[in-house]
């Protein structure tokens, strides 16, 4: 492996070729930025074996000790062998490498989106088990431009068109993209100068996938001067505007929003007076995503309907949540029906809640529900609406209620939210 200290000294002396030096400086700057936010000390790189992720591994590992991880999605017969090739590459360089497997053959709907979420989930759990605080992704300015075109086709708002973030938190891990300002050609150039080959994924030519269509559209737009680099610059301008909106939202949330046992409670007068339609939409989207645990917000037309009719429609269901409008507050709580069938063994995370207390055989976690409220009787807390209590977590032994911490009957058990921060729900990934 390269001696990181010697490499940094060579960089400072200008002894590294300029094109490689720029990439190494970008890698170092990204790591220094994320280090202040990491909750665990180690770094890792997600590596598929393609040029972008492999170059990310090569550049970061030249400067820092890193681990590498590859997800075999089980979607192509070659995938397992490709993961082993990455493993051999890492072994030759003394880099710790793990292979995680996900059987994506049963996935429904948007396959690429399902695969991406599976990667985050699997790698996030892997990273936490190994004391890894941040995982690098090999996205480039080309990916940024392609993402912009795909979101443009979906009529995205400012938060969508401002592109992929340089970093975001998900699955208990900080994810970062060191090379969003560089091109795919620059990363491939680095590999070629190092004499390193990469794996070409045939799905990159499959027109079934929107990203492939966007890539080909970019090539068609080139004669107009619309390039990946220029679109990335536009995305950067939009991202600055997005930061201004987020700053305004942060201040309004601090003044008019509180959080109560997993619910989001918005001051009705403040929502009426202080939130313009855009910030109101963004706040409502974030509340629905955070309370429901969904990855994406509801359809824009549904949110706009809430914004235009909330004064007269006092109670409605949307996105697995109940929206309760009172004279003083708007409360977004979990919909009881959305969690009615969710039963998990004690010790697991139930709908974003972890219940701690004495374990015993046969204990289950489920919603309190109407039967739980009946068993609680007068012991139930009246501090929260019935709708909130119905969807709250409870400990059950068969059909007998043992504890309902959120509803005020702890019986030796505590309920703790383990959802990501509300701020993370405000920000696109």
Q: Convert the pLDDT of each residue in 398-427 to its tens digit.
A: 999 999 999 999 999 999 999 888 887 787
Mean pLDDT of 111-122: 84
Please answer whether residues 309 and 351 qualify as being in contact, where contact means their C-beta atoms are separated by less than 8 angstroms: no
pLDDT at 428 over 80: no
As annotated, the binding site for ATP includes 48-53
pLDDT at 144 over 60: yes
Crossing angle (nearest 10°) for helices 141-153 and 210-221: 100
Closest to 215 in 3D by CA, of 227, 224, 233, 225: 227
pTM of the model: 0.78
Q: Is-same-fold flag (4-226; 245-334)? A: no
Lowest mean pLDDT, pick from 116-130, 147-161, 221-235, 356-370 = 147-161
Considering only the top CATH level, what class is 245-334?
alpha beta
- The Cα 84–Cα 87 span in angstroms is 5
- The Cα 84–Cα 86 span in angstroms is 5
- The Cα 212–Cα 218 span in angstroms is 10
Query: What pLDDT is stored for residue 109 in this prediction?
Result: 57
Report the run of H or E that residue 134 belongs to, with start and end: strand 132-136
Note the CATH architecture for domain 4-226: 3-Layer(aba) Sandwich (3.40)
Mean pLDDT of 34-47: 94
Residue 327's contacts (CB-CB under 8 Å, 6 or more residues apart) are 268
Mean pLDDT of 108-130: 85
Query: What pLDDT is stored for residue 3 in this prediction?
Result: 77
- The Cα 428–Cα 330 span in angstroms is 24
Indicate the domain borders of the chain. 4-226, 245-334, 337-417
Q: Which residue has the higher pLDDT, 168 or 333?
A: 333
């Amino acid at each position: 492996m390269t001696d990181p200290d010697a490499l940094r000294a060579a960089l400072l002396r200008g002894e590294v070729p300029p094109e490689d030096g720029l990439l190494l400086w970008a890698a170092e700057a990204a790591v220094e930025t994320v280090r202040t936010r990491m909750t665990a000390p180690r770094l890792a790189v997600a590596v598929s074996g393609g040029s972008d992720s492999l170059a990310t591994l090569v550049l970061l590992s030249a400067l820092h000790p890193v681990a590498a991880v590859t997800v075999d999605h089980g979607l192509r017969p070659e995938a397992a062998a490709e993961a082993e090739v990455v493993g051999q590459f890492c072994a030759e360089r003394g880099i710790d490498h793990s292979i995680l497997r996900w059987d994506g053959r049963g996935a429904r709907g948007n396959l690429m989106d399902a695969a991406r979420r599976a990667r985050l989930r699997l790698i996030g759990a892997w990273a936490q088990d190994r004391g890894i605080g941040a995982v690098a992704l090999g996205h480039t300015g080309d990916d940024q431009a392609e993402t912009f075109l795909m979101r443009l086709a979906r009529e995205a708002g400012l938060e969508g068109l401002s592109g992929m973030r340089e970093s975001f938190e998900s699955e208990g891990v900080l994810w970062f993209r060191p090379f969003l300002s560089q091109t795919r050609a620059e990363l491939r150039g680095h590999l070629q100068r190092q004499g390193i080959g990469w794996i070409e994924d045939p799905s990159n030519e499959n027109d079934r996938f929107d990203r492939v269509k966007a890539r080909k559209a970019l090539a068609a737009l080139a004669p107009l001067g619309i390039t990946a680099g220029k679109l990335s610059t536009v995305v950067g301008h939009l991202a600055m505007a997005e930061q201004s909106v987020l700053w305004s939202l942060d201040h309004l949330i601090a003044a008019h929003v509180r959080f109560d046992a997993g619910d989001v409670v918005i001051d009705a007068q403040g929502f009426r007076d202080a939130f313009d339609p855009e910030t109101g939409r963004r706040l409502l989207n974030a509340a629905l995503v955070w309370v429901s645990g969904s990855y994406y917000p509801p359809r824009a037309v549904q949110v706009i309907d809430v914004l235009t009719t909330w004064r007269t429609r006092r109670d409605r269901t949307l996105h697995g949540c109940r929206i309760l409008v009172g004279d003083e507050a708007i409360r977004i709580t979990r919909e009881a029906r959305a969690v009615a069938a969710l039963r998990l063994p004690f010790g697991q995370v139930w709908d974003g809640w972890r219940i701690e207390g004495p374990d015993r055989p046969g204990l289950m976690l489920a919603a309190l529900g109407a039967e739980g409220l009946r068993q609680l009787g007068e012991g139930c807390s009246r501090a929260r609406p019935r709708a909130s209590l119905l969807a709250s977590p409870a400990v059950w032994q068969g059909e007998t209620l043992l504890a309902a911490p959120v509803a005020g009957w702890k019986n030796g058990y505590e309920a703790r939210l383990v959802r990501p921060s509300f701020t993370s729900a405000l920000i696109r990934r």
